Structure 1
């Protein structure tokens, strides 16, 4: 077969050209030449049909359509639909001081010292509201290592409208970062009113005695079920400003360790961010919100704080408390 796709009788190729040595009569030579011309024409047509079409160009810019989810806060309804994350969206890690260690952690405690020194020696403390509140470091139940912290309150003899609270406060918090801990709630625990287990507070005058709860995690009983609903609440102290976010998927099982990881970005105005992950799944995210008061202070605490909760007394357990620049996965263990 020759380079043009047709068959020619008894051909020979030379470096400087193409030569057919014919062993036929002159009429056969004319026939071959005509056949050769026909084959060349057919090959040219086929090449023209298969050549790729040019890519059209346009002087007009192309636009990219992006779906957004804007959920404005309602003016009257206090319980809102949760602002859920998209599959690709997550808060960007914020750079923190250079003294950070592994996984972006710059402060943590697993209570392995057998006391609260990791709090007391690093701008943290235990605070109680009412004499019926206390803390202890225990060796059972424990999530990781040998110890965990226990927070206990007793609401049995409180006057109406009063509350008991056991807080573990930490004050040296970043402008933006991740806060995580493991929490164990015994099976016989039953909140009969609001129950604040996690909060960020701020002040307008630098006086921590007058601090204001900005955002909290509130646990409530679910009728006919053993698990608890976890809500994200803004300004629970103010009837005028209070907003509560309730996601049906944000539930906590009693009698087992659960992992809570939250992202908090400070803002005196309306560019703050609060996001909540439960056992590795994001259940809440609110953006463009106020997260601190006018002096931009920020205090974080894990609490056992309620007006009425069973049994009397009531205890919850805490382990592996971490503040970091990156989200801590539930698979991570403090060394």
Structure 2
């Protein structure tokens, strides 16, 4: 048991939610504060965060509404995925120097029961940040959503909205590696469209800002789609409903188009198509599927090791930039996973 807490930093800098946003969050909805941590209790560890994650679902946690995860509390540190190094320990389970994955992001130092921190394995050639995306929650989201929720079958034509994001880049590659007949993605800029086809193995991609989404999807998938992985909702979901073949399946993962809306989303207008086509539209929360983690980690880890699966990170430096990184992520400024290098 390590007990060198007295010689380690004890002042953490943390982001708090100062007010609940109405529509798009503003700078005044957040505050960065300093706080002194208490002495370690038996069984606790202190961790210096190295990377933290910012994710679309965090916008929903800023609203005081009942949901699948509790809302952030005002004037308290926000939370989210992070990796870091144990710098002090009063636990027999974790030692100083261990790299751990945990849920106390949005701060420089994390502290709590050792059971809330999970040691990550040393995977040659894979940096610790990858456990926040390709080998973490976003990767598992893509894996479960495509294979279990959408019941992917070899030869399927797959459409992914928000395809250049952390989840979308994984979905397209997993579909290709599993034998998809055709993989199509939407993104928000010509550069991202090029990345989808040149780097991530998408057969076709389009910029949703270039025109009607339904028309662009119909051109990219003239024979229709079998699977839709939804990260956007709205006009993308409406377009998928139009393009679905009979028996199509949708995994409803996120609907970023409405996260900052102040009025109800007008689309889709054509949900009735789900009846005649015999569609399955199924929402899911990845936290309910951690029983699949070992199978996911084994298969995706092997693809990463061989280079068959690639990833990108958009890294912003400094805890001071965490708020801006979060807002930029909501606007689609990232390619792959948006991360904050905390130190």
State the TM bucket, normalised to the shorter chain.
Answer: under 0.3
Higher normalized strand content (fraction of residues): 1
Q: Looking at CA atoms only, which structure, 1 or 2, has the larger radius of gyration?
A: 1
Structure 1 length-normalised TM:
0.21
RCO (CA 8 Å, sep 6+): is it higher in 1 or 2?
1
Higher normalized helix content (fraction of residues): 2
Structure 2 length-normalised TM:
0.21
